[in-house]
Amino acid sequence: MRRLTWLIAICFAMCAPSYGQWEVETSNTTADLRGIHSIGNGVAWASGTNGTVLRTEDSGYVWQLCAVPPGAEMLDFRGVQAFDANTAIVMSSGKGDLSRLYKTTDGCHSWKLVFANPYAPDGFFDAILFLDPQNGLLFGDPSPANPRSTPVEYPGDFRLRVTADGGNTWGPVSAPDYPAKPGNGLHAVGDESAFAASNSSIASREGWFWFATSASRVAFRSLYNGSKPSEFLFRPAYCAGAVDPASNLCGQPWVDFENSSVPVLHISPSSGIFSISFASATHGVAVGGDYAKPEVAKETAAYTLDGGKKWYASRNLPHGYRSSVAFDAATKTWITVGPNGTDISTDDGRNWRPLRPDPARHEAPDADRNWNAISLPFVVGPKGRIGKLNAAALRR
């Protein structure tokens, strides 16, 4: 009997499922994945290099490889925003005409090009975000004015476009204050840009909007009051002045940004803030570092308690460069990922601790690393890596 008990114990230990904090799923692709959007009820979409788009309707049990959008075979889809199991927009990132938006309404069997970078041969799309199925924002690097330029946008400003019709048309946001003050709102300073590492250099929560830059600057403004966006939030108004030639729409004049400096490393072109996320209108986290030196655990995270007016350096930092951060409301846990690991915070970003696989549980030794972007419960990474959160790991 003692020998039988011992054999049962050994079998239980060796035959137990190998999970880790991220349960690695079969993606049926080797593309590098940076776009992920989970919308609940088992539906999620992912995107990556070589025009790759994936979707699941069963919480990741099966990931469907979508049709490649026309002409997108060489594009890098860094962002995806989904509305339901059939409707989504993917954003490619690249200089000039390599930045585009495609939309599907039939479960990714077919795609329509809805917007191409109007600043080509310059310009670069960094992030796309929808507040609801109609109202969305598209954020891009500073660039010279449109070659068919009008006074709607200033040369050298960050590019921000908005849609009020589900992404079919995109009108510009302008900063019409003059003279422009570098480092204020959309006005970039020096070589300031943004990162398209995880489609999370912009964020919105409870009527507020934030964007983060390579200069570790966060700019923010109120978009609306109340529980949901107004019907006319991004709808262009009549104007008698300049009209944007790319959309035939007037520019939305946004001059009321507030700005703050964030204690995240920004000493080189490869460093700065890579991701921001907010759990409420007041509590937010920014992560980053230097992607060229991913093991350096210096100034990799900061937090705010007042909506971004003041940022504080985390005391115990994530143990390396981090490209994406998200908040798990069910466990009140912040999760951040990067090439060398996963870290969590249970005190609103003040302190972080690594979440490492447990050899005693026979967990995969790389379950914590080689990740690019999060949309809980999913995470994506290079070479087709997709993982799903094992929430039990957060309670260890």
Do the domain assignments include residue 3? no
Structurally, the chain folds into a number of domains equal to: 1
267-315 confidence digits (pLDDT tens): 999 999 999 999 999 999 999 999 999 999 999 999 999 999 999 999 9
Backbone angles phi, psi at 309, to 5 degrees: -70, -40
Q: Are strands 252-253 and 258-261 parallel, antiparallel or unpaired?
A: unpaired
- CA torsion sign for 168, 105, 327, 314 is negative
Do the domain assignments include residue 5? no
Q: Quick one: pLDDT at residue 11?
A: 39
What does the chain come to in residues? 396
Residue range(s) defining the domain that contains residue 375: 31-395
Do the domain assignments include residue 346? yes
Nearest partner of 335 among 264, 287, 392, judged by Cα: 287
Give me the CATH number covering residue 189: 2.130.10.10
Q: Which amino acid is at 227?
A: S
Do the domain assignments include residue 379? yes
Do the domain assignments include residue 10? no
Do the domain assignments include residue 26? no
89-129 confidence digits (pLDDT tens): 999 999 999 999 999 999 999 999 999 999 999 999 999 99
Do the domain assignments include residue 13? no
Q: How far apart are CA 217 and CA 319, in angstroms?
A: 22
55-75 confidence digits (pLDDT tens): 999 999 999 999 999 999 999
Do the domain assignments include residue 18? no
